[in-house]
Structure formats: C-alpha cells, structure tokens
Amino acid sequence: MHALIVHCHPEPKSFNGALTRIARETLEAGGATVEIADLYADGFDPVEGPRHYEPRADTARFAPLTEQRHASENDSLPADVAREIDRLERADLVILQFPLWWHAQPAMMKGWFDRVFVYGGLYTGSRRYDAGHFRGRRAMLSVTTGGPARSFTHYGRGGAIERLLWPIHYSLYYMGFGVLAPFLAHGIQGGGIAYQADNAFRTHLEDTKARWAERLRRLDDSRPIPFTGWSDWTDGVLDPEHPQRWA
Amino acid sequence: MHALIVHCHPEPKSFNGALTRIARETLEAGGATVEIADLYADGFDPVEGPRHYEPRADTARFAPLTEQRHASENDSLPADVAREIDRLERADLVILQFPLWWHAQPAMMKGWFDRVFVYGGLYTGSRRYDAGHFRGRRAMLSVTTGGPARSFTHYGRGGAIERLLWPIHYSLYYMGFGVLAPFLAHGIQGGGIAYQADNAFRTHLEDTKARWAERLRRLDDSRPIPFTGWSDWTDGVLDPEHPQRWA
C-alpha cells in the first residue's frame, strides 16, 4: 500500500504538521510506503491561468479546460502539475491534510484541485464519478478546525461539517476516488500553537493525535461514502424509476 | 448605492467578463456607482502565509489569525489586503462573479476570503454572523457552470447547487452580510467562448445575459437567505427551546 499525503499548511510546527508526521509514522509502521506533497514547502502555485501553458491551444482567448486538454494531449503539462499527477498515480490512498479556512480548504489546496485534475488527461465527460480515473483508490480528508465539535452541527454556529466538506468530497468522487469519512480535529485554536501552555488544551491535542493514529490503523474497516452514480442518472438527473435508493 | 464587483476569471473575453460588464452597466443605469476588483488583472496573491507580514507578531511560528490580528492592530496589513478592505468598506452591495471550478470558487477567489477577511480587523469571536462587521450590507454570488441546470439538483450529476455554494454563503453571512440568492448561469461550456458559432448556444448566452440584467434591476425585491444567528444558539448549538424555527 502506497499513500500520498497532500499537506497544506504554512507552518511546519503547526498541529497540521504534527498530524502529517503521525500519518507517515503510523502508515509506515503498518507496512505502507508514504510520500508527502507539502504544497507550501514546494511553493505550489494555486492560480490556474495562461502563464502555465506553452504552447497554447488558443493564444487569443484562455479557456482553462481547452488548454488542459491540449497540454495533456501534447505532453506539455506544467512541470508542477505533471509531478503532482505522478504522485497521484503511484498512490493507493490519498490523504488531504489541511485546516478549515473560511468553510473550505485553503486557497493553496483549492488551486491544487483547479490545476492538477486536468481535463482530457484525468477526466472527460464520460470518465468521471464511478467511471473516474482513480476508481478503486481511496481518498480522505483530515481537517483541523478552530471551533468546538458541538458547533459544527446542523444549524450550529460553525455549520454542519459534512455540509462544509461535501463539495470537496464530491470533487474527489468526481475523479473516481472512494471517499472515506473525514478525520476531524476540532478545537485546534491558534493552529495548535498558541495555547500549548494550557494543560487542558495540551491534553486535547494529545488525545486528538492518538485518535488519528488509531483511525489510520483501522482504515480498512471503513467503507467509502455513498454517492449517486451513472446507473442512477437519466440525462444527469436521478432516475425516476429508482428514487427509493436515495430517498 | 455603491456596488463592488469582485471579479475572478483569467480571461477578460470570457462569459464571466460579459456578466461583469452587464452588472456595471445595469447598476449604473439604475443610479448606482460601481467599482470592480478584477483579481486576475490585479495579480492578487491568494496564498496566506508569512511573507505578507512585516513586522511579525511571532517570528518563530506562523499562525495566520495571530498575524492578522497583530497587523490589524498595528496598521501593518499587506497593501493589497488593505486595498480590498477599503473597497469593501465603500460598498453597500458586493457581487462575487466567478466560474464554478471543482464545486467551489477558483483558488484566486478562495484566497481573497483567506487573506482579506482578517481576524481582529473585520471579525472577532463576538463580532460575527448577525453581529458581523458588514451587517446591513448585501452580498450575492453570480456563478457560471459548464453543466446543464437540471444536473445541479439533489442527487443529480452536478451536485445540488445550493449545497455547493453553501460554504461560500456561510462565509459571507459570517462577516455579517445579508446574502441574496445567487444568480446562476448554467451550461456555459468552454467559458462561453468555444462554441459561439452554434446558434442555440449563442441564444442561451444572450438569454442568460438578459436574465442577469433583469435580476439586477430587481435586486430590491430579494430578501436575504435566512441563517441561524446568535439568538438561536446556546453554547454554539441550536437552542433546544426554539427548535421549531428551523425544523
């Protein structure tokens, strides 16, 4: 088993950094090999735009999917995108490690989706969802939040966490991944840095790290989150003949 | 009435570009003044990180909220962030114009949230949600998608659009904005560029532009989307004494 951890945090000494180190150690102890894509350390550019494409399919007007397909077909993908795709191709399991910023992944991680999951090369109109490129492989989010767990509930102050993460989960499913339930590390204030003098907080951090290691040791117990797929849809919509499956 | 359009698309000739021009013309024709924050044209840097902060609150470890608060208090916010905040402070209405990329806003726009909505300066633990800095002002999303409208339904192939946009809406509400229902321009393939020779597609684009102008002329008919707020929560959770309001 080979795992890729896509790690996104500007501070190596952050709690996100600690969680990624625990993931590497735990997975390796279980016999897996692990690669880490440290987006901030690599200086990954999250901004999709014309500067990444040479030669261009259309120099007069920049349409991202047109250029992605053209670069995929002509073996002229940007070097950093080609590197990330190589990392993904090697991985049986992909873990995305990031802090929840403004109810989603940081811009750096969002741009990793925008630029790396290239049209033509990694998906087309028919090669998506349960027919996606990475079918048979697993992906999961490991997310830290500043607020307490109880507030990330329906109508709670933080917003229902499964609702906040759903767009990211759907993007991973779009690429074919079997998406495992996320690991959630709530209540990590100040990046898990500022309050380490406080005993209760220090205990919370240690408990969370132990919970992460335990979850990683038991990943094979998890089944992917169910999504609708090609057999459910007629013309892009849930098949009215089989609504009960998802009612 | 002064409106700010935060525009995020790498190609000025795109359909997003057309929608922003229509918004400017329509709002100005109605007597408003309009400012456009063109993030790609400005070369906005969406990556939150230590390079933006000088002097630092803590040079040993980078915690974003710590540095944001410190820079707010010491009048040392990054120049581009200060400029975006000035733009927001002037605006009664904020329109975010962007294409749906990977089930969310492009990284460039996500980083605008990450960097501009600064802790300390624009929000604190008590100055959020219906007590947020921008209360009394309105915000709305104007979003283009490649897929057809019918697939962005519950259990449909595109994913329910209100679910995809909910994290962004919640971020705007977090800042105090009254969030209007989004304007959705579905079926804008190839950025609204590639297929303009096709008559049906050209008609669809023209109809969508007319629908946008009409929506903008009738903005005052819209009431903000309801969210739970401080009076609904007890310790961050929906108050069990008043569950019926949101059941």
Q: Which of B91, B93, B92 is nearest to B215 (CA)?
A: B93
| Mutate which: B119, B237, B245, vs A, most A CBs within 10 A | B237
Per-residue buried b or exposed e for A78-92, using 16+ beta carbons within 10 Å of the residue's own CB = bebbbebbebbeebe
| Mutate which: B6, B154, B155, B179, vs A, most A CBs within 10 A | B155
How do residues B115-152 score in pLDDT, each as one tens digit? 999 999 999 999 999 999 999 999 999 999 999 999 99
Instruction: Please state, in angstroms and rounded to a whole number, the distance separating the CA atoms of residues B157 and A229.
Output: 8
The Cα of A116 is separated from the nearest Cα of chain B by a number of Å equal to 11
Q: Which residues pair with B144 in a beta bridge?
A: B99, B185
The reported pLDDT for the residue numbered A193 is 67
How do residues B167-181 score in pLDDT, each as one tens digit? 999 999 999 999 999
Average pLDDT over residues B153-169: 96
Find chain B residues with C-beta within 8 A of A170's C-beta.
103, 159, 164
Task: Please count the other Cβ atoms lying within 10 Å of the Cβ belonging to residue B226.
Answer: 10
Residue B16: its H or E element: helix B15-29
Q: Which of A82, A98, A80, A78 is nearest to A142 (CA)?
A: A98
| Res. B194: pLDDT tops 60 | no
Reported confidence tier of residue A195, pLDDT bands at 50, 70, 90 = low
Of B101, B174, B236, the CB nearest to A150: B236
How do residues B111-122 score in pLDDT, each as one tens digit? 999 999 999 999
Of B11, B163, B164, the CB nearest to A63: B11
Closest CA in chain B for residue A192: B63
Of A10, A47, A194, the CB nearest to B107: A47
Return all residues near B230 (Cβ < 8 A) that are at least 6 apart.
B129, B130, B131
The reported pLDDT for the residue numbered B244 is 60
Find chain A residues with C-beta within 8 A of B171's C-beta.
102-103
Helix, strand, or coil (residue A52): helix
Residue position matching structure tokens 């741009």? A111
The reported pLDDT for the residue numbered A4 is 99
What is the secondary structure of B27-41 as a DSSP string?
HHHTT-EEEEEEHHH
Question: What are the helix (H) ranges across A91-131?
Answer: 107-116
Q: What is the CA radius of gyration of chain B?
A: 19
Average pLDDT over residues B186-194: 79
The Cα of A164 is separated from the nearest Cα of chain B by a number of Å equal to 6
The reported pLDDT for the residue numbered B231 is 92
Find chain B residues with C-beta within 8 A of A155's C-beta.
228, 232, 238, 246
Looking at chain B, the whole-number percentage of residues with pLDDT higher than 70 is: 95
Contact indicator for B96, B142 with CB cutoff of 8 Å:
yes
**Cβ distance of B103 and A191 shorter than 8 Å:** no
**Cβ distance of A47 and B159 shorter than 8 Å:** no
The reported pLDDT for the residue numbered B199 is 87
**Cβ distance of A237 and B150 shorter than 8 Å:** yes
Closest CA in chain B for residue A118: B102
**Helices and strands, number each (H, E), in chain A:** 7, 8
Residue A18: its H or E element: helix A15-29
Helix, strand, or coil (residue A70): helix
How do residues A23-56 score in pLDDT, each as one tens digit? 999 999 999 999 999 999 999 999 999 999 999 9
Instruction: Please state, in angstroms and rounded to a whole number, the distance separating the CA atoms of residues A96 and A112.
Output: 11
Contact indicator for B95, B3 with CB cutoff of 8 Å:
yes
Residue position matching structure tokens 């490649």? B146
Size of interface A-B (CB pairs under 8 A): 200
Reported confidence tier of residue A164, pLDDT bands at 50, 70, 90 = very high
Find chain B residues with C-beta within 8 A of A147's C-beta.
236
| Mutate which: B13, B52, B62, B102, vs A, most A CBs within 10 A | B102
Helix, strand, or coil (residue B196): coil
**Cβ distance of B102 and A166 shorter than 8 Å:** no
The reported pLDDT for the residue numbered B189 is 85
The reported pLDDT for the residue numbered A200 is 87
Total count of residues recorded for chain A: 247
**Cβ distance of B155 and A46 shorter than 8 Å:** no
Backbone angles phi, psi at B160, to 5 degrees: -60, 120
How do residues B199-219 score in pLDDT, each as one tens digit? 888 899 999 999 999 999 999
Residue B159: its H or E element: none
**Helices and strands, number each (H, E), in chain B:** 7, 8
How do residues B97-112 score in pLDDT, each as one tens digit? 999 999 999 999 999 9
**Cβ distance of A114 and B107 shorter than 8 Å:** yes
Contact indicator for B186, B149 with CB cutoff of 8 Å:
yes
Give me chain B's average pLDDT, please. Answer: 94
Reported confidence tier of residue A194, pLDDT bands at 50, 70, 90 = low
Give me chain A's average pLDDT, please. Answer: 94
**Cβ distance of A156 and B102 shorter than 8 Å:** no
Contact indicator for A60, B188 with CB cutoff of 8 Å:
no
Instruction: Please state, in angstroms and rounded to a whole number, the distance separating the CA atoms of residues B83 and B111.
Output: 15
Total count of residues recorded for chain B: 247
Per-residue buried b or exposed e for B64-87, using 16+ beta carbons within 10 Å of the residue's own CB = bbbbbbbbbeeebbbebbbebbeb
